[in-house]
């Protein structure tokens, strides 16, 4: 069939050239595409700018054009795939730098050229299949991690049920419906590694698209029949005599039921319980007051006086959306966000780009690989604390200070015409201290609007009429919106978990949640958490990657139990404690661990209880499979009725 050359030409102006060149090695079987002079030298903080001259770009496009037409107008048969050494060269080419040997297996796995990955459940042996059939697992949460667990459990042949408090799947993407809510990781990477979506409408799509993706996943994998919606978990109690968890569920009708299960996977996320600030008079406000995660779509903001408390990642997204329609807005800011320049943050994925994803074999894999590699550990060195740093506390190293200078100048330039804002919009804490946001200019444009005031005086009181600041001024408002974040360090706050010896998990934690690899806690056998303590990432990668690693490990634990014929596995305290000591020490070495930073990453004791302080590769390696020596393995299993 003749190729739509107009579409192809448009596509080649927007496609990612290094990923297309790698795809051509598959299409033509010719390794000579990987020319040194075509190798990209990416420009930092750009949208994949290759740093090549316009002449070289044009040469690559012309070669791609001819090869793609030849393939599409030919029999479309692909030659035998490239050998391992060639794939390694292709990875180096697309990454724009040699991938260190230590990363080779990790990068190869992420790429999964042949479709297989270490993250696939390995339950092929009949004996394991038989054992899997007898296992029953309860998953708490039907968000991104819970659905993923369901997919992997069903692939392994394990019986499972998922419960969720909401009436539909999606978790955070179901709950956060505030105007402007969107993903802040490139969507072609923020999707399951085994479920690429060529139809993402934007590079960072809005929330309804993310929800649609996860709903589609639930349908495609037949997960809905396994899910009890509008059901709350009240308690999980370990039955030491039978080695099973008894889980009390409360349905929408208020009735409770207790189910027995061999293992529990808690996939409830870190950011699902809104946090309201402890401000005097908070309940006295006369008008509608709500949190960003519980957006009141029934409250018409048109022409209203609106007060917003908080300028974190959520407020950063909804303030520019609502500013044009409100009468007046007062934004109360304690600390400004660091906005990293991402010009295409709100841009549509071009039709040509989608066409390439659909029509050029392996382009999707190599584009994802490019996104993955350049965000994997790419930014981490910039936020690493240098113990010898003796510059300003607004940075943690020379590299961090240089980045600060560049981004600070970028932010300041946007308000050059507003001297009153200059001193307010550039943070004084280091970049990487808190979650940086992606900035395409709409944030500061909103704050510059004539109907918006940015107030940096401390909020001291809320009255029926508005918000009072430390200078004694009452800022009147009809509607009050809290963009004040979540009770992140209060892990699993809405249900009790009673393990061995009748010890309750929250009592064990005492407000300072810890786990081994974020997943298991001594004394709580067969209880696994996804996105548990110390598994959040600040500047590198996508949290979906982390969930995929965690689920691989959990499925590996079930496999280990099946192989060894044991009913329960309980992580050893010494292993858990040694791991946590390493985590705590390492967290001090990053911008977010700086004593000059306060954020939701730190708990009430000032300990960083949220973040993973190592590279992605370290989590990938640590979660390849459980080490049996890390666990106390207990007794023969008894099937659960």
Chain residues that interact with ligand NAP, rule: CB under 6 A: 182-184, 271, 277, 279, 292, 309-315, 317, 332, 334-335, 435, 459, 483-486, 600
Of 289 and 315, CB closest to ligand NAP: 315
Nearest approach in angstroms of CB 600 to ligand NAP is 4
Query: Minimal distance in Å, beta carbon 462 to ligand NAP?
Result: 10
> Least separation, in Å, of the C-beta of 222 and ligand NAP?
28
| Nearer to ligand NAP (CB atom), residue 23 or residue 459 | 459
- Closest C-alpha to 27, from 56, 69, 61, 60: 69
Q: Based on CB atoms, which residue is closest to ligand NAP, 16 or 275?
A: 275
User: How far, rounded to the nearest angstrom, does the alpha carbon of residue 386 sit from its chain's CA centroid?
Assistant: 27
Within a 13 Å sphere around the CA of 309, how many CA atoms are in the beta-carbon half? 27
Least distance from ligand NAP to the Cβ atom of residue 473, Å: 15
Identity of the residue, 259 or 279, whose beta carbon is nearer to ligand NAP in the bound complex: 279
In the complex, minimum distance from the CB of residue 488 to ligand NAP, in angstroms, rounded to a whole number: 7
End-to-end CA separation in angstroms for the chain: 58
Q: Cβ closer to ligand NAP: 168 or 184?
A: 184
Residues 6+ apart with CB under 8 A from 24: 30, 33, 63, 64, 67, 68
CA angle 440, 445, 448 (to 5 degrees): 155
Measured distance CA(479)–CA(328) in Å, rounded: 11
- Cα separation, 615 vs 186, in Å, equals 19
Nearest residue to ligand NAP on Cβ basis: 312
Instruction: Report whether 315 contacts 306 (CB < 8 A).
Output: no
Closer residue to ligand NAP (CB): 486 or 620: 486
Q: Which of 226, 404 has the CB closer to ligand NAP?
A: 404
Smaller CB distance to ligand NAP: residue 363 or 546?
Answer: 546
Please answer whether residues 537 and 617 qualify as being in contact, where contact means their C-beta atoms are separated by less than 8 angstroms: no
Q: Which H, E and C letters describe 390-427, residue by residue?
A: CCCCCCCCHHHHHHHHHHHHHHHHHCCCCHHHHHHHCC
Q: What are phi and psi of 527, to 5 degrees?
A: -115, 120
**CB closer to ligand NAP, 182 vs 368:** 182
Are the beta carbons of 325 and 479 closer than 8 angstroms?
A: no
Contact (CB, 8 A) for 403 and 382: yes
In this structure, the number of other CB atoms found within 10 A of the CB of residue 9 comes to: 12
> For tokens 């966000």, what's the residue?
337
Looking at the DSSP bridge assignments, the partners of residue 481 are 290, 308
Task: Name the minimum Å distance from CB 334 to ligand NAP.
Answer: 3
CB 558 within 8 A of CB 132: yes
The b/e string for 12-37 (b: 16+ C-beta within 10 A; e otherwise) is beebbbbbbbbbbbbbeeeeebbeee
- The least CB distance from residue 551 to ligand NAP, in Å, is 20
Sign, Cα dihedral of 437, 440, 442, 448:
positive
Report helix angle 363-376 to 17-28, nearest 10.
140
CB closer to ligand NAP out of 158 and 323: 323
Q: Using CA atoms, how far apart are residues 208 and 178, in angstroms rounded to an integer?
A: 11
**Long-range CB contact pairs, 399-405, < 8 A, 24+:** 400/430, 400/431, 400/432, 400/591, 403/431, 404/430, 404/431
DSSP 268-284: --SS-SB-----BTGGG
Minimum distance from residue 185 beta carbon to ligand NAP (Å): 7
Distance of closest approach, residue 536 Cβ to ligand NAP, in angstroms: 7
The least CB distance from residue 437 to ligand NAP, in Å, is: 8
Q: Between residues 227 and 437, which has the closer beta carbon with respect to ligand NAP?
A: 437
**CB 539 to ligand NAP: min, Å:** 11
Give the residue with the Cβ less far from ligand NAP, 561 or 597. Answer: 597
Nearer to ligand NAP, 123 or 601 (CB): 601
Number of H helices, E strands in the chain: 19, 21
Phi, psi of 319 (to 5 degrees): -60, -50
Write the CA distances from 108 to 85, 118, 372, integer angstroms.
Answer: 11, 10, 12
- Among 460, 467, 481, residue whose Cα is nearest residue 279: 460
Residue 99 · residue 39 · CB < 8 Å: no
Using the minimum distance from each CB to ligand NAP, give the nearer residue, 95 or 455.
Answer: 455
Segments in 565-615 forming alpha helices (H): 573-587
CA distance 342 to 28: 34
Residue 150 Cβ vs ligand NAP, minimum distance, rounded to whole Å: 23
Give the nearer residue to ligand NAP in terms of CB position, either 141 or 312.
312
Q: Which is nearer to ligand NAP, 527 or 531 (CB)?
A: 531
């Amino acid at each position: 069939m003749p190729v739509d050359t107009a579409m192809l030409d448009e596509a080649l102006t927007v496609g990612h050239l290094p990923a297309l060149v790698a795809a051509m090695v598959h299409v033509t079987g010719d390794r000579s595409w990987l020319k040194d002079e075509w190798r990209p030298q990416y420009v930092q903080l750009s949208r994949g700018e290759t740093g090549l001259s316009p002449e070289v770009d044009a040469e690559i496009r012309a070669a791609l054009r001819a090869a793609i037409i030849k393939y599409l107008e030919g029999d479309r048969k692909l030659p035998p795939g490239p050998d391992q050494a060639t794939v390694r060269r292709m990875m180096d080419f697309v990454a724009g730098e040699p991938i260190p040997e230590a990363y080779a297996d990790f990068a190869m796995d992420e790429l999964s050229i042949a479709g297989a990955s270490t993250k696939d459940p390995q339950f092929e042996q009949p004996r394991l299949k038989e054992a899997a059939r007898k296992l029953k697992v309860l998953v708490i949460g039907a968000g991104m991690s819970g659905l993923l667990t369901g997919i992997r459990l069903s692939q392994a042949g394990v019986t499972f049920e998922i419960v969720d408090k909401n009436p539909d799947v999606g978790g955070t993407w179901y709950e956060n419906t505030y105007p402007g809510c969107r993903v802040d990781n490139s969507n072609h990477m923020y999707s399951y590694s085994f479920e690429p979506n060529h139809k993402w409408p934007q590079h960072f799509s809005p929330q309804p698209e993310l929800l649609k993706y996860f709903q589609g996943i639930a349908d495609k994998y037949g997960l809905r029949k396994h899910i009890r919606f509008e059901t709350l978990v009240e308690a999980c109690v370990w039955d030491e005599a039978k080695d099973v968890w008894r889980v009390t569920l409360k349905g929408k009708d208020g009735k409770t039921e207790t189910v027995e299960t061999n293992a529990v996977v808690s996939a409830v996320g870190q950011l699902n319980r809104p946090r309201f600030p402890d401000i005097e008079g908070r309940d006295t406000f006369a008008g509608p007051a709500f949190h960003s995660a519980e957006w009141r779509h029934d409250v018409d903001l048109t022409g209203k006086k609106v007060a917003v408390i908080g300028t974190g990642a959520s407020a950063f997204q909804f303030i520019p959306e609502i500013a044009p329609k409100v009468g007046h807005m007062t934004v109360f800011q304690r600390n400004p966000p660091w906005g990293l320049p991402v010009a295409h943050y709100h841009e549509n994925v071009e039709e040509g780009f989608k066409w390439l994803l659909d029509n050029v074999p392996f382009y999707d894999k190599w584009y994802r690989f490019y996104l993955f590699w350049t965000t994997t550990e790419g930014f981490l060195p910039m936020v690493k604390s240098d113990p010898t740093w003796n510059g300003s506390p607004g940075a943690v190293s020379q590299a961090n200070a240089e980045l600060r200078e560049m981004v600070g100048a970028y932010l300041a330039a946007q308000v050059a015409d507003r001297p009153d804002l200059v001193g307010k919009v550039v943070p004084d804490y280091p970049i990487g201290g808190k979650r940086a946001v992606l900035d395409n200019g709409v944030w500061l444009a909103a704050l510059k609007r004539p109907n918006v005031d940015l107030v940096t005086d401390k909020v001291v009181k809320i009255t029926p009429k508005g918000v009072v600041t430390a200078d004694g001024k009452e800022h009147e408002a009809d509607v009050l919106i809290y963009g004040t974040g979540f009770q992140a360090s209060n892990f699993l706050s809405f249900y009790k978990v009673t393990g061995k010896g009748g010890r309750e998990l929250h009592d064990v934690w005492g407000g300072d949640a810890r786990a081994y690899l974020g997943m298991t806690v001594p004394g709580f056998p067969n209880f696994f958490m996804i996105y548990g303590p110390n598994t959040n990432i600040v500047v590198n990668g996508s949290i979906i990657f982390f969930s995929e690693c965690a689920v691989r490990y959990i499925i590996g634990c079930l496999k280990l139990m099946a192989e060894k014929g044991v009913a329960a596995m309980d992580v050893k305290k010494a292993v858990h404690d040694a791991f946590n000591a390493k985590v705590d020490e390492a967290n001090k070495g990053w911008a977010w661990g700086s004593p000059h930073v306060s954020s939701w990453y730190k708990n009430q004791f000032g300990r960083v209880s949220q973040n993973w302080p190592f590279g992605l590769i370290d989590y990938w390696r640590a979660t390849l499979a459980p080490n049996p020596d890390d666990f106390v393995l207990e007794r023969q299993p008894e099937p659960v009725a």
